[in-house]
Each structure stands twice: as structure tokens, then as C-alpha cells.
Chains A and B, each alone.
Chain A
Amino acid sequence: MEQETKFELVQVGRVVATEAKPSTAYSFSFWAADGDNKVGIGTLVVVKKGDLEVYGVVVEGFGFTDLNSAMHDYIGSEGDPGSDAPTLRHEVKCYNAAVLRVEPEEPLQPVPVGPVYLADDLSVKKALRMDAFWEKSGIPIGLYQNGDILAPVYLDSEFLLGPEAAHLNITGVSGLATKTSSIEFILLSIFERFKGVGDDGIAVVCFNVKGPDMLFLDFPGQVLPGHKYEQLYAENLINTLDERDAEMYERLGMPCEPFKNVKYYAPFKSDRVNLNTLRTHPDLVGDVTPLSWGLTDILEFTEVVLNRDDVDAKADALISYIKDRVVNQTSEPNGMQITVRNFQDMNHWFDMVLQEMEQQNRSEWKTHHYATIRKVYNRLSNLSTRYKGLISPDEFRSDLPWGSFEDRSAYVIDVANMDPQAQDLVFTRVVSQLRQHLEKGDLGVKHVIVVVDELNKYAPSDGQDTYLRQTLLDISERGRYLGLVLFSAQQFRSQVHKRIVGNSATCIYGRMDMDELATPGYQVLTSSTKEKLATLSKGQLMIRHPHFNQPIFVKFPRPNVLRGPDGTRMFPPANDLPLEEAVYQNLARLDKSVSRGTIKDVVAEVNDAEEIVRAMNVTLQRAPDDPTAFFRNSIRKKAGIKRTSDDMPVFVPVIDPDPNDPFQD
């Protein structure tokens, strides 16, 4: 746990109340001592008078002299700014403070005139009401710093992760390492300190939405002598932490370590052998699990993957029929027994249905019109092409470990290089699965944090509604009851859907753009607080949390995590591999004795890329003792099968065309 440090209270000023500017129960003013250099915007102070203690945070500052007009100074200096007057005017620094807490709380009265002290360690805890929760449910968020005082600041996990309140939103301009770094630090902090109730476990699902941001969470920002990559770190001059960070970790009582258990997921590229991620360096790609979903996985989400205009009532009815009566069941269209388990099976089933209709010269099949069947066939069969790399046409499936999520684990899903529709599908399905498993209590953990950056893009306040935005709204509005928590980030909070940021009980602000600060959402902040926000340095944040009556400024140490750009510099992504080499390398991961020559020969012999890929993925999924033999056998089983559809006529005249079919021409 953190190191307790006690300081003597240092008086820095005295409360001043005038008729023009009186003290109230919620605010007061004080002037600061001559030569004071400890009080500033965001400083926590204590007023003590008798048994009364008033805790406040400085929100505005003024400095003035007895001059009424600049003209008087000009005249007195004879117009010479360099003139040296024998006496200096009195200059007073006055500060406005907002009351954070009053002890005792009743009766609530205006702040009395009395001495003002800098808050020490204990006072910081009291001021932010952390004394009630920091041991039980405190999550270190950073350090409040004022001169020599370095006091830990905690968030209450019951208000960060539920059940009282939940969600966290971070705003800040790009390029200052605030958003990603702070999220990483908070996650590390949660993993270190979250207690929960009983055997509550917690995991994180991070959607990596841009570049290599979250692709090296398991690598440290700096390595100790003797580390496997010590030389590589030195060559790339990577050492992101300094003594100041180490001191902050010590004060927070937290280990300075990267994430211990991280699992990476990425879809394939369209070739279905190379992963669509920047973590493809040969040393690292083995840790990346393909994200590949089959027919049964995505059939629940047809409204996401299909154009809304396509899924009319008729199409919806047919899709429901397929879901209920066809998938994973054996049916007998046109007298042929077919068990539909993947897209290839489904295509076969459609072919048989259409063949039956044509042979019997019927316009309807089980009340579904020929044109509707044709349209749904067209749309569904096209999915494995449209989402090539993510949706598998065959039986190969690779997914997150639903049901066996591990406590304190991070699951990073790289969607950075996917098109928006595919991202829609990934977000929607993953969150839907999380929700379903959390509802049933069989996910493996009781709490899941979903991390999404770039909310300006994914959940804008205006623009077209998307499933992704609906998904994020759903988490923010209903997630906390299930243990599903959203940690989101963006550059411009004002341009994010109000209900998402509004439902975030905890909000963090890094350096802000003045244009953004001029928007109505920041009206509650004083002009000085806004000025400070506009000039925050790296590692400084402003926090709003249900326990804090006013925004609080803290510093946080840099997470000991390798930054994305540094990671790609040290571990540059590999070029896309040719099919035979990719197959060899993938199978060699199962068994190092696999022969490159043998694999190359098999690939050349079959000369069917799709079948090769399917066989490779099936082999990888099964992980047999002899990968080469299994791979070869898998090909033999499928190769040479004559597809019924190959003989099918391309065009079939429709006897009774569906008037609503937009594709009938």
C-alpha cells in the first residue's frame, strides 16, 4: 500500500470576506502570503477555525495592487517602463476557492474568516472524501502535487466499476500521450487494487482503433539489465520512465510493471493467412489469435452486416427461418440431406432450394418467394466476401474465450485496419457476447471493462446512427448492472453523444483545445481552470468523480508499457507472406519439425488457395500431434468435391416476380 507521509499544516493565507465579495457556504476567497509560490489553480487548502474545518480547492486567482488605472503607473514612471521607483507597490494575490467539504457538516454556514493552510496528506484524503473508501475500494488514479506534498488520489471502485455508478470518459488533445497512457495506468491500477466482492474477477477488452496504440501492453516501457530485449531497447533508445515516475509509483504503492496477461486478437487480411494487425513481427505474431467468425456467429447480427434496406420483413422472415430450422440442423431440400454449419454449407442449401423450386416450377418455397430467397442468398453468401478475413466461409472459427475469461487479463482486439462496417460487426458482437455471458454469469469474470478510443468517430453527437454507437450507448446506460463498464476516450467531448459522456460517472480531462473549452459543456469551469486545462503538461489530468465536489488536478506516472510507435520501431511488422510460406510458418508454430519443402509441395500440388487456407486453419484449430499429416489429410478430404452450384444455371427466369425486390432486374 501507499506510503503515508505526514506534513505539518503550513499557513499560506487568510480568508477575506467583503461586502462586495462575501464568503458563502460553497465558496470563499483568501489572500496569500508574500512570496507565496505554493498556491495555484487546483491547490487544495484547509480553513481551520475552532473545531470547524473547511476544505476547498482553488478555482480562480487574482493579483492586484492599489493602482486604479494603468495611467497612474504610467504617470508615476514618467512614461519610462525602466524607471526604478524607490518603493514597490503592495501586490496582493487573492484566490477564490470552492468548498469541497465542511466538517462538521451541520449547520452549513458561510466559510468563516480564518487562517488558510495547504492541505497535507490527511487533509487531501478528507477534502476528497477518500477517507471513507480508500482502503476498501480505492483505485489510485494519480497524485495530487503541491510543492513537497505528493498525496495519492483514489477513485472509488464502486463508482468507477459499479454498482453505484460506473464508466469513465477521457478527453484530451492528441499527441500528448494523455488518453492512452492514462487509460493504461488506470487499468493497471485497477488490476492491482480492485477487490470486488468475493471472487469477483475483472478483465479488460480493449478495442485498438488506431495504429499500434495498444498492441504492446505486455512489453515494459523500460527494461532492467538482463532482460531478453535489453540490447534492442538500448539500440532504440527506449526508456520512457524516469526517477520521478519511480517516486510516484512508490508513493502510490504500486508496482511499476506492464500488463502481465494480455491476449491479442486480429482478423485475417483478405488472403486469410496474414493477420490484419501491426503486431506481425515474427517474435510476436505467435501471440496473436485470429478473429474469425462463422455463419452461426454472425447470423444473430444480420441487421448489422446487411444493408438495412435489404432486410425487409420478407427477408427477415426467411433469415429467421434459416436461423431456426436450417443452421446446425439437417434438412432435405430437393431430396438432398444437408447439415448447414458454415457459409459453404449454406450456399449449398440455397442452391438445392432454388433447384427444387425451379424443377417444380414453383414461385414459393415454404411461403418464401423465389425472389426473396434469391435476394437473401445473394446477401448472405456475399458476407464472407465482403468481410473476408473476419467471416470464415468454412468451418474454421476462432474467437475470444467466451466462458473462460481470466481475472486481471487484457483482451486486445485490433480493429484499426478494418473498414467501418466490419468494426460495427466486431464491436456489436463482442459486446453482445459479453453482455450475454455476464447476464448468465458464465464469462469467467464478473466485471469487464470495454475500452474504446476515438468516440468522436464512433459515437458522434450528430451524424448517422450506427450499431456501434447503439452498442456504446447500451453499455453506458445499462452496462453497470451487469458489470460491463465503458472506458472511452476522445479529443472533443462536446462532439460525443451526450448520453455516453453523461453516463460516465468519472471524467478525466487532459490538455484541452481552447475552442473545445469554449463550448457550453465547460461553462461550469472557471476561466482560470479552463486556462489551466489548455496548458496542462504531459501526465497532468483534471478529474471529476462523484466523491469530489469539484474537479481535481492530479499527476500520474507514465505506465510502464511500451508505447505503440516504439513497439513498431522495435518490432517492425512483417511483410505479407506468400501462401506457402504463411502456411509453413503457421504450422511450424505447432511443431518446429514441420518441413518447409513438404508444405511447399503440398500447396503447389493442390493449387487451390481457398482450400489450402481452410485446411491450414482447421489444422491450427485442432493442433494435432502431426500437423503436416493432418494438413495433408484435411485437403484430401475436401479437394475434388464437385459443387452442385457449379452446374447450376446462372439465370433463372422468375415466373411471379416479387414487386418489392429492388434487385429483380
Chain B
Amino acid sequence: MSDLLKKLAAYVRSVPEPNVHVVLSQGVSGEEIMMLPSAEPKTVKSELEGRSIDGVSVGEPSVGQIAYFMDGMQRPRGPIYINSSVPMMYGYTAAAIRVRGIDKHMRKLAHLPREAIYFPYELLDWRPYHAAGMDTVDTAERGQKTDDHPLMMAERAKNKIGDIRADLERQITTKWLADFDGRDEWLLVDGSLSGDYDRYEAPNIVGVIKSHQTQYFEWEEQQNILNLKAGERSGVFIPGGRNRPAVYSWYVRLRSNDGRDVYFGLVRVEAAKCERTLDMADEISRWILAERSPLSMPDSRWDRMIYPIRDCELYLKSLAPSAAALDSMLIGLAGAAKKG
């Protein structure tokens, strides 16, 4: 159950003559961050290993030093209109790190959740909500004028929820890097590297990106990547177009895509931009290949999702207020308005 929505219902009851309108989300699409592919190649630099981007076998999979796994989630709901045409979004966000013990069981290391209401402070007074004990987030971008279209405002709020999730991931990863600096274990994060990894000389952190919205190479080189065979990796390159510190990256084909889509089983790996990464690219790839088992079925992305990350997702979802509970409480807001 959501404490925040309970407080919001109490708040609505306290408002004289409240007028509440709630739009229930359809499905859970808001939980997945979808971006359109960019047609513009984003490679900053390649041939870092003194060779082309062509595929090379990494050797037999081997269980390595990866013992920690990080993932995040977001669950937006709304928009909600309370005595105003300014849409507010409810957002539940969380990040978690799970640790794999020597018994091979996954357990919690850290969990960082946040519930908040998202709206532009410029158009809606945040103070009554804070007074009622609710966490709010301003959806306005610093220095930019707020859109005056409700749908644009709602869309911006959704994006803001994604930003907050990324921020939680950054916080939890930063703490891990600080706590585990100098130790042998590695942290694998779902998606691009986050946290302040750039502050360390050779941080034990690796990111695995399952989606391929951004194309980093010209078509000819991209074909080489798409032709990677199972157990092969591409050459290391520096991806561009990011607003975070640079990283080294390469592609790995986890599973054969015979008879499948070209992206089937293909992941992109990110690691810190340092000499050690170049030395360890094969080894890290072998570690990731070893994570192919157990299979992440029944997840639809099972070809690219490693099981510990699926475990993180399940863990995060098990602690999040369910979609049904949230919808029920949102509907209850209208009821609270009538009683109020």
C-alpha cells in the first residue's frame, strides 16, 4: 500500500469542496523507458585495442568476481487533477542491490525507494502537500519555461520520474563504490554505468545494456557487430552522446541468433574507462556469458537478461505498491473528495 496516497486522500478530505479527477494508466508501459533509436552514429572513439571492431571469441564462460547486482524501477500513475487543471503524477521509484552469496542464493544488500507527487511548482503550490507530509518533485527543468499544455506537463512528469529513478540508482551505486572500494567483488548494473565511478581509478563495476536504441557505428561496422556469434565480443570503443563520464564499451553475443532477430542475445557492456578494462574485456565477457544460466524465463527479454538482474526486478516489484492497489487508491481519491 502507498503511504503517500493515503496522505493524499486525507489531504483531499481536508480541502473544502475538492474537485478531483483521476486518469488511470493503461497497462504498465510507464514502467519501461522507451526511447526512439537515434539514426546518428554516436561513437567517439574505436580501435582502442589496436584492432577493428570485428568480433573475437572470448573463450569459455567462467564464473568471475561479479557478486553484486543493481537495478531500479519506476511505477508512475496518474495524472491526478485536484482543484486544478495542472496534472500531477504519482511516482514510485526504487533501486536495489542484491548480493549473491557463496550458497548461490540472492539476498538484499540495499534498497532505496521513493514515493512522490510530480508537478510543476510554478503552476501549483507545493506547500500544502508538504504540510500534509507528502514528498513532491518539481517537474520543471531549470531555466526552462513550463509547458502550458496538460499532456506535455504529464509527459514531463513521467520523464522526471525516470530521472528520479536514475538518481536513486546513482545514489545506491555511489554508496556501493565507496563501501566496496579495494575489494575483489564486482557490481553489475542493469543498463549504463551510473554513480561516481569516474572518481575511482579502476572501479569494479560493469553495466549490461539490453536495449539498443542508440546506434554507435556506421552501417558497415554495425553489420560486423550484428554478425557477432555466440560467445564473441566486439572491439572496445567509447560510446558518445551521453551526459555522464565516458566509459569503455563493447558488444557481446550471449546466445546464438540463428533463426532469430539480429539483436537476439546481443548486449552492450560498459566498464570504467581505464587500462584494466582493456585488459579484462575478454574476462568480463566470460563472466557475463557464465550468467546465461539459469535462464531468465519467463521474462520476454530472457535472451539478454541475466538471471540475477531478473531477481533484482522481482525483488523491487515485490516491495512496490502493486498497480492494482495504486489504481484502487487513486479511484478512492475521488470518493474521498465526495466524502470531504
Task: State how many angstroms separate the Cβ of B230 from the closest Cβ of chain A.
Answer: 11
A86 to B105, CA, bound (A): 9
A553 to B308, CA, bound (A): 41
Interface string of A216-228 (1 = CB under 8 A from B): 0000000000000
Interface string of B279-320 (1 = CB under 8 A from A): 000000000001111110110000000011011001000000
Interface string of A63-85 (1 = CB under 8 A from B): 00011110011011110000111
Q: Is A637 an interface residue (CB 8 A)?
A: no
Most B C-beta atoms less than 10 A away, residue of A66, A68, A78, A87: A87
Contact, CB under 8 Å: A87 / B297: no
Give the residue of B106, B298, B314 whose beta carbon is less than 8 angstroms from that of A87: B106
Give the residue of A66, A69, A77, A88 whose beta carbon is less than 8 angstroms from that of B104: A88
A417 to B100, CA, bound (A): 70
Contact, CB under 8 Å: A76 / B292: yes
Give the residue of B104, B292, B295 whose beta carbon is less than 8 angstroms from that of A72: B295
- Kindly list chain B residues whose C-beta atoms are within 8 Å of the C-beta of A68: 297-298
Q: Is B32 an interface residue (CB 8 A)?
A: no
Contact, CB under 8 Å: A85 / B294: yes
Contact, CB under 8 Å: B63 / A73: no
Contact, CB under 8 Å: B293 / A83: yes
Q: How large is the interface on B (under 10, 10 to 19, 20 to 34, 35 or more residues)?
A: 10 to 19
Contact, CB under 8 Å: A73 / B294: yes
Q: Is A440 an interface residue (CB 8 A)?
A: no
Interface string of A86-127 (1 = CB under 8 A from B): 111110000000000000000000000000000000000000
- Kindly list chain B residues whose C-beta atoms are within 8 Å of the C-beta of A89: 294, 307
A to B CB contacts below 8 Å, 22 in the list: A66-B310, A68-B297, A69-B297, A72-B297, A73-B294, A73-B295, A75-B295, A77-B294, A78-B293, A84-B63, A85-B104, A85-B307, A86-B104, A86-B290, A86-B291, A87-B100, A87-B106, A87-B311, A88-B103, A88-B294, A89-B307, A90-B311
Closest to A69 in B: B297
Interface string of B103-116 (1 = CB under 8 A from A): 11110000000000
Chain B binding surface, main DSSP class: loop
- Kindly list chain B residues whose C-beta atoms are within 8 Å of the C-beta of A84: 63
Evaluate whether A87 and B308 lie within 8 angstroms (CB atoms) in the complex, with A34-B105, A66-B314 already known: yes
Question: Assuming A85-B294, A87-B106, A90-B311, what are 8 further A-B pairs, CB within 8 angstroms?
Answer: A69-B297, A76-B293, A76-B294, A83-B293, A85-B293, A87-B104, A87-B294, A88-B103
Give the residue of A67, A77, A86 whose beta carbon is less than 8 angstroms from that of B100: A86
- Kindly list chain A residues whose C-beta atoms are within 8 Å of the C-beta of B104: 85-88
Task: State how many angstroms separate the Cβ of B8 from the closest Cβ of chain A.
Answer: 25
A69 to B293, CA, bound (A): 15
Interface contact tally, CB-CB below 8 A = 52
- Kindly list chain A residues whose C-beta atoms are within 8 Å of the C-beta of B292: 76
A660 to B16, CA, bound (A): 107
A84 to B293, CA, bound (A): 8
Contact, CB under 8 Å: A87 / B291: yes
A66 to B308, CA, bound (A): 13
A67 to B290, CA, bound (A): 19
Closest to B324 in A: A19
- Kindly list chain A residues whose C-beta atoms are within 8 Å of the C-beta of B310: 66
Interface string of A235-268 (1 = CB under 8 A from B): 0000000000000000000000000000000000
Task: State how many angstroms separate the Cβ of B170 from the closest Cβ of chain A.
Answer: 25
Give the residue of B103, B293, B297, B308 whose beta carbon is less than 8 angstroms from that of A67: B297
Contact, CB under 8 Å: A76 / B295: yes
Closest to B287 in A: A86
A69 to B297, CA, bound (A): 9
- Kindly list chain A residues whose C-beta atoms are within 8 Å of the C-beta of B63: 84, 86
A296 to B308, CA, bound (A): 89
Interface string of B170-210 (1 = CB under 8 A from A): 00000000000000000000000000000000000000000
A554 to B298, CA, bound (A): 42
Closest to A67 in B: B297
Interface string of A325-366 (1 = CB under 8 A from B): 000000000000000000000000000000000000000000
Contact, CB under 8 Å: A90 / B295: no
Interface string of B208-248 (1 = CB under 8 A from A): 00000000000000000000000000000000000000000
A75 to B311, CA, bound (A): 19
In order of increasing CB-CB distance, the 4 nearest A-B pairs are A76-B295, A72-B297, A85-B293, A88-B104
Quick one: which of B43-91 are within 8 Å of A by CB? 63
Contact, CB under 8 Å: B297 / A77: no
- Kindly list chain B residues whose C-beta atoms are within 8 Å of the C-beta of A69: 297
Evaluate whether A90 and B290 lie within 8 angstroms (CB atoms) in the complex, with A68-B297, A68-B298, A72-B295 already known: no
A113 to B142, CA, bound (A): 46
Task: State how many angstroms separate the Cβ of B229 from the closest Cβ of chain A.
Answer: 16
A462 to B294, CA, bound (A): 58
- Kindly list chain B residues whose C-beta atoms are within 8 Å of the C-beta of A78: 293
